[in-house]
Structure 1
Amino acid sequence: MTRRLIGILFAALTTTALVGTAAPATAAVQAANFAGTVALSNCSGSLVKLAGAADTDPGLVLSNGHCLESGFPSAGQVITNKASTRSFTLLNANAGSAGTLRAKKIVYATMTDTDVSLYQLNESYAQIKARTRISPLELASTHPTAGNHIDIVSGYWKRIYSCNIDGFVYQIKEGSWTWKDSIRYTPECKTIGGTSGSPIIDSASGKVAGINNTGNEDGARCTLNNPCEVAQDGTVTVRKGTNYGQQTYRFYGCLKASELDLKNPACALPKP
């Protein structure tokens, strides 16, 4: 997980070799583009909306909890409605800059059960589209499906990783953090530093099924940068080189007009 940040220093020294070296293009990869993705100072993200959101609602930017400008939330910590003026570079389909987005607050962020941050912007979706011609990506409202083809689109590196959902992990443990029902990728998605927070786009629907967040770098067991898988019976499995993401459908039931509503009985996100 932290290698998604620390790895940037190494990656920056080899950017020419990394950018544009994804697997050979397929029809699914060609269909994916960068419109609606964002580049943060240290991670990737995306401009997102829930199905049925109004154009007049404030825009939302989705990334990882460990990508917060304030540093990693501690295990058990949930951050809500915290003021922020963070800026994001919004990309167009060809990975060029479509303009800058500015946060108003962190609506929600945690590294407990999941690894997510959601920023509310100081412009509505309609205002963003009028200024940049970019529409938000839509969050899928249901659990993703094993075997589905996915594209992981990094706004930081302007690079697309293409593979399939290999399956779902009951728990992932990394250092002091635990994540539940995580997405495991097939080996083709070799995500690197700076790809944290990249939207995982289901190729069939074009909707965001999750966000990229971690991978086992050295083969170590449950340590920082080396997450392990924990089955429901407690069995621990280490998969060196395997990468993972977190699901995002749980935001449904927790947001109304881009504002947080954790008291809604339908909201399944961890509470403070």
Structure 2
Amino acid sequence: MKRPLRGFFAAALAALAAIATLGLSAAPASAAGRDAAAAPNAAAAVTVDFAGTVSLSNCSGSLIRFPGSASTDPALVLSNGHCLTSGFLDPGEVLVDQASTRTFGLLNASGRSVATLRATKLAYATMTDTDISVYQLNRTYAQIQSSYGISALEVSGTHPVQGTAIKVVSGYWKTIYSCSIDGFVHLLKEGDWTWKDSVRYTSSCNTIGGTSGSPVIDTATGKVVAINNTGNEDGGRCTLNNPCEVDANGTVTVRRGINYAEQTYGIGACVTTGNRFDLTLPGCTLPKP
């Protein structure tokens, strides 16, 4: 996992380097050439900045809405399941409607924190099949828009496409990484956890600790298509901080220095009127308690 930050000195040094280069680090040799191949898709159609992203105490996140969300609905914040203050969830563990007062720093376009948002509950969280946490806030989208002029990022309801130009926007580090979707992973295994149909980045999205939970934004639409969550740091095979890819035939591939995200298009199928999670809805495939 792109581990939650707990004062790691090495991660801080890496982040400073990333900020200095706007997140466009040199590609590891193991992925050389993939960014060049994706270049024709790299032209941005919309401006992607920090507006609508949030910083957590240990991770990144975003203020989100779904196509069916109303302006009067309580707003939602999306981050990783492994970013919970209580620690990692066990495989198979799912949390729904848990009381929470967690706070989030809301960023404007330039990356300045303009407000502290507060949760009323953890609406949903799991590290099984995917790696997400969704918090419900004590303010509506309309109230946040009226007070701070910031709109929520919309979560796309469709599967992303290989070669799509993306930006990974970290509210924690106030850094934006630019790359493309290199492909999709049948199963991504890391330690005890397994995630399905994960997004693999091309090499210039060289994300680090603290970028966990960052929204992955399609630069053509401005919509969230995934959530940043892990990367292979040392070339290890299927171990903590060294996820491996497993294809449909069981073949294992290790890509040192390559980072990954979990798709988000299926979340909206589990959300009903009032931004309430209902895991019994037709088409909802999120893991259930």
Q: Aligning the two structures, in what range does the TM-score lie when normalised by the shorter sequence? A: over 0.9
Which whole-Å CA distance do the structure 1 matches of 2:215 and 2:235 have between them?
Answer: 25
Which whole-Å CA distance do the structure 2 matches of 1:11 and 1:52 have between them?
Answer: 38
Number of aligned positions between the proteins? 271
Matched residue, 1:63: 79
Q: Tell me: CA distance 1:15–1:163, structure 2 relative to 1, closer, same or farther (3 Å).
A: closer
Q: Offset of 1:9 from its aligned partner?
A: 3.7
Which whole-Å CA distance do the structure 1 matches of 2:14 and 2:216 have between them?
Answer: 24
Q: Tell me: CA distance 1:6–1:229, structure 2 relative to 1, closer, same or farther (3 Å).
A: farther
1:138-153 maps to which residues of 2 (within 5 A)? 138-153=154-169
Which whole-Å CA distance do the structure 2 matches of 1:240 and 1:112 have between them?
Answer: 23
Match of 1:98, SS? Answer: strand
Q: CA RMSD in A?
A: 1.7
Residue 40 of structure 1: which of 52, 56, 60 is its match?
56
Instruction: Indicate if the aligned counterparts of 2:18 and 2:24 stay in contact, CA closer than 8 A.
Output: no
Instruction: Indicate if the aligned counterparts of 1:2 and 1:224 stay in contact, CA closer than 8 A.
Output: no
Which whole-Å CA distance do the structure 2 matches of 1:88 and 1:57 have between them?
Answer: 18
2:18 is aligned with 1:18:
yes
Matched residue, 2:194: 178
Which whole-Å CA distance do the structure 1 matches of 2:98 and 2:47 have between them?
Answer: 36
Which whole-Å CA distance do the structure 2 matches of 1:6 and 1:166 have between them?
Answer: 30
Q: Tell me: CA distance 1:95–1:58, structure 2 relative to 1, closer, same or farther (3 Å).
A: same
Which whole-Å CA distance do the structure 1 matches of 2:45 and 2:179 have between them?
Answer: 9
2:201 is aligned with 1:200:
no
1:49-128 maps to which residues of 2 (within 5 A)? 49-128=65-144
Matched residue, 1:261: 278
Instruction: Indicate if the aligned counterparts of 2:2 and 2:208 stay in contact, CA closer than 8 A.
Output: no
Instruction: Indicate if the aligned counterparts of 1:185 and 1:243 stay in contact, CA closer than 8 A.
Output: yes
Instruction: Indicate if the aligned counterparts of 2:44 and 2:219 stay in contact, CA closer than 8 A.
Output: yes
Q: Offset of 1:2 from its aligned partner?
A: 5.0
Matched residue, 1:229: 245
**Contiguous gaps of at least 5 residues in structure 1:** none
Match of 1:106, SS? Answer: strand
**Contiguous gaps of at least 5 residues in structure 2:** 26-41
**So what's the TM-score if we normalise by structure 1?**
0.95
Matched residue, 1:218: 234
Q: Tell me: CA distance 1:205–1:7, structure 2 relative to 1, closer, same or farther (3 Å).
A: farther
Which whole-Å CA distance do the structure 2 matches of 1:229 and 1:15 have between them?
Answer: 26
Q: Using the aligned pairs only, state the percent identity.
A: 62
Q: Tell me: CA distance 1:29–1:151, structure 2 relative to 1, closer, same or farther (3 Å).
A: farther
The range that moved more, 251-260 or 81-90, is: 251-260
2:250 is aligned with 1:271:
no
Q: Offset of 1:253 from its aligned partner?
A: 1.7
Matched residue, 2:30: none
Look up the equivalent residue of 1:265 and give its one-letter code: P
Matched residue, 1:240: 256
Q: Offset of 1:32 from its aligned partner?
A: 1.5
Which whole-Å CA distance do the structure 1 matches of 2:8 and 2:282 have between them?
Answer: 40
**So what's the TM-score if we normalise by structure 2?**
0.90
Matched residue, 2:37: none
Which whole-Å CA distance do the structure 2 matches of 1:66 and 1:204 have between them?
Answer: 29
Q: Tell me: CA distance 1:253–1:17, structure 2 relative to 1, closer, same or farther (3 Å).
A: closer
Look up the equivalent residue of 2:12 and give its one-letter code: A
Which whole-Å CA distance do the structure 2 matches of 1:36 and 1:2 have between them?
Answer: 21
Which whole-Å CA distance do the structure 1 matches of 2:4 and 2:145 have between them?
Answer: 30
Residue 185 of structure 2: which of 169, 186, 211 is its match?
169
Q: Tell me: CA distance 1:157–1:267, structure 2 relative to 1, closer, same or farther (3 Å).
A: same
